[in-house]
């Protein structure tokens, strides 16, 4: 299974950015990436590490090891990684930055940012907001009845079936 150590990537990215008083050269950025990847590969059960840093509008990427040990399949800039539960951290971080940059507001209706009509973009007349999405909460009651049958339905119909 492909794994990505996103938190590791963030820590490397932030360690580079933390040195704002000192202009880092491209060579220094790659050296930090190489050093950290080498340590991670040595000290963990990880076969492969991909690191990406965006600094001052420039992207730096490096790939180390093999995805499947002994098979010679190395990651590259087009390799897709499963980030699983880290998606929440990734999404939250991006949204926080968008809020700080004034590009989005937490109380905005999501329909402001999506095209098309979606029957589940509001619940009981209350629109789903950006805050609802990034806080990973629902507006369902905590005392839902045992309705396992709803999970056999098409996902977009579930909220309407729960109402019944």
- Residues annotated catalytic, as ranges: 85
Instruction: Let me know: does 110 contact 128? Beta carbons within 8 Å.
Output: yes
Instruction: Let me know: does 22 contact 14? Beta carbons within 8 Å.
Output: no
Segment 70-75 long-range contacts (CB within 8 Å, at least 24 positions apart): 74/48, 75/48, 75/50
156: left (phi over 0), alpha (psi -120 to 50) or beta: alpha
Q: What letter does residue 8 receive in the DSSP assignment?
A: H
C-alpha–C-alpha distance, residues 156 and 154, integer Å = 6
Helices 6-17 and 26-43, axial angle in degrees (round to 10) = 150
Chain Cα centroid distance, residue 98? 14
Residue 145: both structure tokens together = 């009845």
């Amino acid at each position: 299974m492909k794994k990505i150590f996103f938190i590791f990537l963030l820590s490397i990215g932030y360690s580079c950015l933390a040195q704002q008083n000192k202009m880092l050269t491209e060579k220094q950025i790659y050296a930090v990436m190489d050093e950290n990847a080498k340590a991670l590969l040595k000290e963990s059960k990880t076969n492969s590490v991909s690191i990406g840093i965006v600094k001052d509008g420039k992207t730096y990427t490096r790939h180390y090891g093999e995805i499947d040990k002994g098979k010679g399949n190395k990651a590259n800039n087009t390799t897709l990684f499963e980030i699983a539960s880290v998606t929440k951290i990734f999404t939250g971080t991006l949204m926080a930055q968008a809020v700080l940059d004034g590009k989005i507001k937490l109380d905005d209706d999501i329909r402001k940012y999506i095209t098309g009509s979606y029957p589940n973009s509001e619940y009981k007349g209350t629109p789903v907001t950006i805050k609802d999405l990034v806080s990973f909460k629902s507006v369902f009651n905590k005392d839902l009845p045992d309705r396992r049958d709803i999970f056999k339905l098409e996902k977009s119909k579930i909220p309407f079936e729960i109402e019944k």
